Structure 1
Amino acid sequence: MSSPQIPLTVIGGYLGAGKTTLINRLLRHSEGRRLAVIVNDFGRINIDAELVESRDGDTINLANGCICCTLGGDLAMTLLNLAESANPPDHVIIEASGVADPAQVAQYGHMPGLRLDGVIVLADAETIRQKARDKYVGEQVCQQLHAADVLLLNKVDLISPETQQAVRDWLAGQVPDAHVIESARGEVPLPLLLGDGEERPFTQTERRDTAVSPSTEHHHDLAYETWSWEGRGPVQEAAFRAFVAQLPAGVIRGKGILRLAGEPERRVIFQLVGQRWSLKPGDPWGDTPPQSRLALIGLPGSLDSARLAAAFE
């Protein structure tokens, strides 16, 4: 069995978009996950004193198991140390500076022991259009938007519904393939940002004995919903690729173990974050009966259970 890779997420966005607020929320509400968050400056991360367990140079250890590191100088070495530590984190998050290209930072996600999970770019709903037109920073702002797998339109509480719709329309013209989540004060359900917390595509409790079992769960209090499907028959790769290509923009995340017709001896691993998705060879089935399992996480109303399941009939 191959060793699991640690997922790495890059959080980017221009100055003032709300990255620090979002990172504060992640550190405080990690939902049992051991996050390693690499930031540019401790001074801007207002960590509650009661959360701090210890501090050692460039690292703060939190009582909830998370750690916060400053980008001292060598990002590659910092990531390598995390990946090779005796007790590695469940997920690594890098805060890109407000003037950085998140796509370049994301290349570190291809280092040994790591897996690029996705690039999340924040945009200030109140100022993004103005900054994108600015003759000095506009090109940089637009570059950041185009790097996003998931675009977090933040601070929507500061604008009117009419302006909010105008910003949506503008974004649709600028980055038509973007998967957009709207938020106020960086309040976003963790599963939408980082998945469900399981690096393995499925936990034991998610497994069912039925041949095909589509289901949708609505989490109205958290403003997202999930859909899952299982099937024992082989899946045609071309048909599955067509299925992914037609997913609604509201589908933010997906994962799965697939029994592809063209790969009968081994699992094929499916991962999706926003517009980024992949199919990669997994471990051989061995003595495990081959079976496909698929799960999606999306915004409310984006997951039509009957329509999604029909693609596998």
Structure 2
Amino acid sequence: MGARRRGDARRSRLRHRQGGGVQDPQPRRQADRRGGGDAGRPRGAARDPGEKRAARLRQALRRPLRRGVKPGDRADRRRAFRRVSGGARLPAPLRAARRLRQGIAGFAAVMAYLAGWNYILCALFITFDVVARSLLGFSSAATTEVTGYMLAGGIAWSLAHTLARRAHIRVDVWVNRLPLRFRSVLHLVSLLLLFGFALFCAWAAWALLDESLLFEAHDNSALRIPLALPQGIWGFGILVFCAMIAALVLESVLSLLLGRAGELDRLLGSRTLEDETAEALEAVEMAREGARPPAEAPPGLKRSLSA
């Protein structure tokens, strides 16, 4: 009772000194109104359902990133990233080889887009021929030959872009567990073997084209298409594929000689979980930007996706 009375007397004295109001010795933290949210919430971080979904997707994709990765690989990747992003100037030969490879990769990307539209036209042509044969009673009489040429040309024109994007199927369960230096050498050896096979395919393709031009060969369809036309398109795709491999070989050899094994591993190694995660996050960001006008996109979402 004595302690309670002393407390009441203290509060009455404080009330008398402050004019009837009691001051809290430890006031509550006021909410930060800059972001319209809770206390300590950063500016612009609005409560957006899309932002929450993007954050959950980012956490779910990045959770398995560190599984199965050796500490030495992490250190090598960090050192390579610091060399590239820290403004270190590349040697002139390596810089020229990288520009050559990027130029061929850009041209190969255009060829891959054309190959994709070629597949769409092929599907439309087959659909039209089937519908016309079933309902209208006529056919083009050249569906098999023309679509075969289109498919062969589309495959050949997409080879270089597939290699540049490291999208070829490979079995690398054992290779990824090797030391970085040895793994980089194996990447280069496999690329050289692929280069030899691609050169053989290019030689065979252009030998076939030369023979078709010599004999003025045509196909057996009603259209009588000169075989040199589809064979030339097919051979050109294989030739660009060889040029892409040659540019990669040049840059890889220079990187290995200059002691940049980490860059060679990123250039020729299989796609990692980090690459897949970055591509998935980029696709989410592109979908979000296409779903709403740029002015309405919350800045917190862009920061969370680019983090």
Q: Which TM-score applies when normalising by structure 1?
A: 0.19
Which structure is higher in strand share? 1
Relative contact order (C-alpha < 8 Å, sep 6+): which is higher?
A: 2
Task: Report the structure, 1 or 2, having the larger helix content.
Answer: 2
